[in-house]
Structures are given as C-alpha cells and as structure tokens.
C-alpha cells in the first residue's frame, strides 16, 4: 500500500519538474525576505533583544530594605539548598544590637551557578531573587563573574525601557 503511494510518476522520475518546484519555494522565500527585510524572523542580538517572560531566571539580585541594608539575614538556607555550591556567605551581627544577623560577605559564583532557582525558593525573607532578566553574562576574567554583595544588592530592577525588545515570531 505504502509502496504504491510513494511511487513516483514518470514526470517526477525525470527529476526536473520537481527541481523547478523546489526552486519556486526557495525563490519565494528569497523574494519575500528581500522585500520585507524588517519582518525577518531573526533578532539582531546585541542591538535587539527577545522579550523574556517575567518568570525568567536570570542574574540574581539581593533585595534591599528602605534603609539600604540587605533583607538577607544570613540564615544560610540558600547556600544549603544550592546544588552547585556556588553561594558563599559570611555572617555578622549588626553593631547596634538586636538579634538579627546580616551577611558581611555574600558571593555568588556565576561560573558554577546552574540557574535552578532553588536559592530563591529556599529564602524565607524574599532576600534573593532572580528577576533581573539579565542573561548575557560573559566577561574576560573569572574574577568578574564571582559576584560580590555590592554587585548583587539592587533596590530597583534595571531600566529596560531603552532596550530594543523584539517579540518572538508570530
């Protein structure tokens, strides 16, 4: 049955009419793209960026209180949850008393991080989030990719209004 269906007729067997059909398809794409270059489905990456979903797990940030101190209480839950072992915390106590701790050092090794988001899930204080939407993390030295507390602390999300966001293909 299948054999009969797939059998080529004489015209198809000569190969040339089918070549013409194939050429028709490719030239249609060529001419359409030539005349509609702005509709090309590709994204010219560094200048244009794809719209990423809000739940996208990008670079981490440490959220900040009104008084510019980190919300983090150095409970080590994130470091414990981390499967890649990329979070290094050094705890300390505030000088002015109270029983709350704070991170003296908070380092995330992006070279080890697998962006699983378990640290965010583990955090009881909403102190660490991965909502910056930054994914183009590349640099010339390894040191620059081990983020310090100062790099991570961010009150507001980075301003994206000036970026050229191109939607995904319709």
Partner 1 sequence: METDLRLIIKDYISLETLATYFPVLVKIVLAVVFPVVIMTSIVVMVWMERRGAAFIQDRPGPNRSNIMGFTFWGLLHPFNDAIKFLTKEAFTPSKARLFFYYAAPIIVLIPALLTFAVIPVAAPTEILGIKIPFQVATLDAGLLYILAISSLGVYGVVIAGWASGNKFSLLGAVRSASQMLSYEVVLGISLVSLFMIYSDVEPSRIVEKQGELAFGLVPAWGILLSPLAFLLFIAASYAETNRNPFDLPEGDSEIVAGYHLEYGGMKFSMFMMAEYISMVTMSAIVVTMFFGGYQIPFLPTASLSRLAGPVFAPLLQICAFTFKMAFFIWLYIWVRWTLPRFRYDQVMKLCYLNMFPLAIFNIFITALILLLIAK
Residues 120, 125, 128, 133: what is their CA dihedral angle, to the nearest 10 degrees?
A: 80
Spell out the residues 6+ positions from residue 35 whose beta carbon is closer than 8 angstroms to its own: none
71, 126 contact by CB (below 8 A): yes
Least distance from C-beta 170 to partner 1, angstroms? 13
Q: Positive or negative CA dihedral for 134, 139, 50, 48?
A: positive
Q: Which of residues 89-128 bind partner 1 (CB under 8 A)?
A: none
Q: Are 152 and 87 in contact (CB under 8 A)?
A: no
Q: Tell me how far, at minimum, the Cβ of 61 lies from partner 1, in Å.
A: 32
Assess 17 for contact with partner 1 (CB under 8 A). no
CB nearer to partner 1: pick between 42 and 99: 42
Q: Give the binding range for partner 1 (CB under 8 A) out of 14-22, 56-64, 112-120, 143-151.
A: 14-22
Return the residue of 8, 11, 17, 23 that touches partner 1, per CB under 8 A: 23
* DSSP tag of 158: P
Is 164 a residue that touches partner 1 (CB under 8 A)? no
Q: Which residues contact 143 (CB under 8 A, 6 or more apart)?
A: none
| Mask for 24-53, x = binds partner 1 (CB under 8 A) | -xxx-xx--xx--x--xxx-x---------
Q: Least Å distance between CB 10 and partner 1? A: 14
The piece of 18-26, 73-81, 94-102, 139-147 that touches partner 1 (CB under 8 A) is 18-26
Q: Per the structure block, which two tokens stand in for 142?
A: 């390894």
Indicate whether 135 belongs to the interface with partner 1 (CB under 8 A): no
- Rounded to whole angstroms, the Cα distance separating 113 from 59 reads 10
The answer to whether the CB of 87 falls within 8 A of the CB of 119 is yes
Closest CB to partner 1 among 155 and 169?
169
Cβ closer to partner 1: 30 or 94? Answer: 30
């Amino acid at each position: 049955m299948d054999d009969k269906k797939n059998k080529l007729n004489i015209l198809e067997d000569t190969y040339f009419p089918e070549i013409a059909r194939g050429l028709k398809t490719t030239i249609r794409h060529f001419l359409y793209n030539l005349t509609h270059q702005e509709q090309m489905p590709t994204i010219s990456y560094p200048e244009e960026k794809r719209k990423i979903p809000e739940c996208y797990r990008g670079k981490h940030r440490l959220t900040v209180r009104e008084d510019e101190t980190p919300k983090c209480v150095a409970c080590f839950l994130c470091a414990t949850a981390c499967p890649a072992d990329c979070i290094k915390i050094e705890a300390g106590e505030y000088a002015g008393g109270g029983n709350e701790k704070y991170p003296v050092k908070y380092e995330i090794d992006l070279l080890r991080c697998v962006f699983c988001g378990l640290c965010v899930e583990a955090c009881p204080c909403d102190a660490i989030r991965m909502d910056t939407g930054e994914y183009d993390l590349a640099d010339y030295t390894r040191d620059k990719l081990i983020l310090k507390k100062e790099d991570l602390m961010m009150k507001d999300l980075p301003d994206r209004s000036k970026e050229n966001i191109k939607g995904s293909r319709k």
